[in-house]
């Protein structure tokens, strides 16, 4: 099979983004800007985003991801590193546009066959059974106990790892392992391990909850016996404030976002938005929490004993 529609398909990048928006997979910010499907940049409060399309190309000014429609389809569909498969899948999705019509298939027909539109339980438990086929999580410093507790998984067909948001398996994130620069891709949009804000924990300090950017960072704290939530990106601090406003928590929040400019801005944003509510929420900010490390998981991997000593001192 040739690639005779290559150039025509490239021209359909705006149509593909429109289709993704209709399916609820991306959010438009107007004038060719979208919430980035790679790094999730896009501030809902300020209604801005760094992911932009210009003709046949896209570029994210936050994470530097760039490419054409074939690259984006490969990411959204979790395809292996095989351009022919990228082309064939793109052609299948966008064929109606080539024929002069907009795609009319439902969202369910476009999501990968291994997923379930609402309840991902069967898929995630299947992946969990296969988690022993990858050393990804152990290399991130997580024990078998933590892997089992959070039902972490591995999809051998797609060569990706899965992390359920919460025990109800109504959503998860995955990351392909064949691309070392890939980000976590969201299926649903929940705060990871959110129940620790309200439930009596059997695993960690019951007074403090560490607030991290990523799910792996949150599990790094849980690994050493401390409760933590993963936001799923710096732009989700608004979701946390909203959650607290709807259902207040008596925990002390330790703001443990990444040790970089984005993390510090997100902490400031959280404090500002919290001040706009009537909540009396206790929180702690420690600018030197991670020392020379970028985040909790990097600290855990590089110096486990130092990480334990440092974090438990904060929570004491």
Judge contact between 88 and 6, C-beta under 8 A: no
Buried b (16+ CB within 10 A) or exposed e, 183-208: bbbbbbebbbbbebbeeebeebbeeb
Tokens linked to 257: 């976002």
The tens-digit pLDDT sequence of the chain (316 residues) is 467 888 889 999 999 998 888 887 888 877 788 888 888 777 554 445 678 888 899 988 777 788 999 999 999 988 888 888 999 999 989 988 876 655 444 334 333 443 334 578 899 999 999 999 999 999 999 999 999 999 999 999 888 999 999 888 778 988 888 766 556 777 777 899 999 998 765 544 458 999 999 999 999 999 999 999 999 888 789 999 999 999 999 999 999 999 998 899 999 999 999 999 988 999 999 888 998 999 999 999 999 999 999 998 888 7
pLDDT of residue 251: 93
- Residue indicated by tokens 């929490």: 289
Dihedral of CA 88/123/175/57: which sign? positive
Buried b (16+ CB within 10 A) or exposed e, 224-244: bebbbbbbbbbbbbbbbbebb
How many C-beta atoms surround the C-beta of residue 308 within 10 A?
16
């Amino acid at each position: 099979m040739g690639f005779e529609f290559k150039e025509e398909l490239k021209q359909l990048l705006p149509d593909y983004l429109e289709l993704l928006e209709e399916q609820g997979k991306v959010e438009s910010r107007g004038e060719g800007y979208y919430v980035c499907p790679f790094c999730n940049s896009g501030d809902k409060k300020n209604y801005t985003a760094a992911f932009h399309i210009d003709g046949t190309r896209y570029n994210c000014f936050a994470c530097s991801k760039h490419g054409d429609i074939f690259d984006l389809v490969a990411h959204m569909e979790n395809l292996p590193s095989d351009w022919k498969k990228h082309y064939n899948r793109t052609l299948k999705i966008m064929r109606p546009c080539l024929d002069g019509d907009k795609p009319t298939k439902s969202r369910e027909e476009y999501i990968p066959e291994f997923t379930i539109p609402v309840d991902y339980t069967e898929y995630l438990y299947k992946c969990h059974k296969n988690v022993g086929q990858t050393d990804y999580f152990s290399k991130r410093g997580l024990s078998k106990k933590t892997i089992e507790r959070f039902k972490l998984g591995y999809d051998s067909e797609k060569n990706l790892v899965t992390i359920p948001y919460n025990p109800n398996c109504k959503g998860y994130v995955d990351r392909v392992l064949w691309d070392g620069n890939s980000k976590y891709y969201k299926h649903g949009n929940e705060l990871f391990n959110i129940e620790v804000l309200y439930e009596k924990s059997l695993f960690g300090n019951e007074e403090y909850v560490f607030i991290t950017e990523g799910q792996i960072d949150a599990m790094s704290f849980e690994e050493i016996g401390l409760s933590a939530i993963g936001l799923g990106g710096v732009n989700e601090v608004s979701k946390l404030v909203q959650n607290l406003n709807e259902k207040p928590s008596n925990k002390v929040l330790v703001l443990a976002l990444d040790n970089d400019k984005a993390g510090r801005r997100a902490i400031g944003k959280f404090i500002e938005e919290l001040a706009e509510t009537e909540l009396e929420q206790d929180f702690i900010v420690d600018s030197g929490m991670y020392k020379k490390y970028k985040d909790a998981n990097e600290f855990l991997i590089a110096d486990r004993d130092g990480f334990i000593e440092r974090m438990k001192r904060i929570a004491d």
